[in-house]
Structure 1
Amino acid sequence: MSSVNVKQREDTLTFLQLFKKSPHFAALLFGQIFSYLGSSITNVIMPIVVLQETKSAAMMGTVMAVYMVPFILLLPFSGVLVDKMNKVKIMLFVDLVRFALILTLATISFLNQLSMTILFIIMFLMGIMESLFQPAHSGVRAKIFTKEIRNAANSLTQVMMQGLKLFGPIIGGVIVSSFSAAWGFGIDAATYIISFLFLLSLRRLSFQSNTINTSPKRSIKQDLLEGIEVIRQQSWLWITILAFSVINIFWGGIMKVLLPWLINVHYQFDPTVFGLVISASGAGGIVCGIIFGLRKQWNKRGILTYISVALSGLSLLLLPAVASIPFIMFLMFLNGACNMFFGLIWETSLQELVPEEKFGRVASLDMLGSFALLPVGYLLTGWAAEGIGEITTLLTFSSIIVLIAVLVLFHKRIRAFN
Structure 2
Amino acid sequence: MEVETSKPARPKLLSQFTAPFLQSRSFPYLWLGQLISILGSSVTMVILPIIVYTLTGSSTTMGLIMAAYTLPSILMLPISGWIVDRYNRIHIMLFADIMRFIVMSIIASFIFTDILSIQALFVLVALYGLLEGLFQPAYSAVRASVFTPEIRNSANALTQISNQAVRLIGPSLGGLLITFLSAGWGVTLDALTYVGSFICLFYLRKLLPFHKKETTPDSDWRKDFTEGIQILKSNAWLWITILAFSFINICYSGIVIVLIPWLFKVHLELTPYVYGIGITCSGIGAILAGLLFGTRSKWSNRGLIAYGGALLSGISLLLMAFTSSPFILCALFVLEGFGIMVFGLIWETSLQELVPQEAFGRVSSLDMLGSFALLPLGYILVGWLADIIGGTQTIAIFSSLGILCVISIMFIPGVRKFD
Superposed pair shares fold, TM > 0.5: yes
Post-superposition shift, 1:358? 0.9
Q: Which moved more, 1:21-30 or 1:189-198?
A: 189-198
Post-superposition shift, 1:284? 0.8
Q: Residue 131 of structure 1 corresponds to which residue in structure 2? A: 133
- Correspondence 1:195 to 2:197: yes
Say which SS state the counterpart of residue 369 (structure 1) adopts: helix
Residue-by-residue CA offset, 1:318-373 (whole Å, 9 max, x unaligned): 44556555444333322211101000000111111111111111111111222221
Q: Distance in 2 between matches of 1:322 and 1:183?
A: 33
* CA RMSD across the alignment: 3.1
Post-superposition shift, 1:39? 2.3
Q: Residue 350 of structure 2 corresponds to which residue in structure 1? A: 349
- Correspondence 1:206 to 2:209: yes
Q: Distance in 2 between matches of 1:112 and 1:319?
A: 35
Cα distance change, pair 99–391 in 1 and its aligned pair in 2 (3 A): closer
Q: Distance in 1 between matches of 2:100 and 2:360?
A: 24
Cα distance change, pair 276–93 in 1 and its aligned pair in 2 (3 A): closer
Post-superposition shift, 1:94? 1.5
Q: Which moved more, 1:318-327 or 1:130-139?
A: 318-327
Query: Which letter maps to 1:206?
Result: P
Do the aligned residues in 2 keep the contact of 1:95 with 1:192 (CA within 8 Å)?
yes
Q: How high is the TM-score relative to the length of structure 1?
A: 0.86
Matches within 5 A, 1:10-409: 10-46=12-48, 57=58, 61-106=63-108, 119-176=121-178, 180-204=182-206, 205-208=208-211, 210=212, 212-260=213-261, 268=268, 270-271=270-271, 273-320=274-321, 324-382=325-383, 384-385=385-386, 392-409=393-410
Structure 1 runs not aligned, ≥5 long: 1-5
Aligned residues: 409
The percentage of counterpart residues that share the same residue type is 47
Say which SS state the counterpart of residue 149 (structure 2) adopts: coil
Q: Distance in 1 between matches of 2:269 and 2:174?
A: 24
Say which SS state the counterpart of residue 148 (structure 1) adopts: helix
Query: Which letter maps to 1:234?
Result: N
Q: Distance in 2 between matches of 1:55 and 1:42?
A: 18
Q: Distance in 1 between matches of 2:354 and 2:80?
A: 21
Q: Distance in 1 between matches of 2:123 and 2:381?
A: 28
Q: Distance in 1 between matches of 2:165 and 2:88?
A: 30
Do the aligned residues in 1 keep the contact of 2:63 with 2:258 (CA within 8 Å)?
no
Post-superposition shift, 1:413? 2.1
Query: Which letter maps to 2:357?
Result: E
Say which SS state the counterpart of residue 150 (structure 2) adopts: coil
Q: Distance in 2 between matches of 1:149 and 1:126?
A: 32
Q: How high is the TM-score relative to the length of structure 2?
A: 0.86
Cα distance change, pair 312–191 in 1 and its aligned pair in 2 (3 A): closer
Post-superposition shift, 1:253? 2.9
Q: Distance in 2 between matches of 1:49 and 1:322?
A: 25
Q: Which moved more, 1:61-70 or 1:365-374?
A: 61-70
Q: Distance in 2 between matches of 1:367 and 1:93?
A: 20
Residue-by-residue CA offset, 1:227-279 (whole Å, 9 max, x unaligned): 1111111101000001111111111233234545556676x474465444333
Query: Which letter maps to 2:243?
Result: L
Do the aligned residues in 1 keep the contact of 2:64 with 2:380 (CA within 8 Å)?
no
Q: Distance in 1 between matches of 2:109 and 2:333?
A: 39
Say which SS state the counterpart of residue 295 (structure 1) adopts: coil
Do the aligned residues in 2 keep the contact of 1:145 with 1:153 (CA within 8 Å)?
yes
Do the aligned residues in 2 keep the contact of 1:12 with 1:294 (CA within 8 Å)?
no
Residue-by-residue CA offset, 1:301-325 (whole Å, 9 max, x unaligned): 0121122222222333344556555
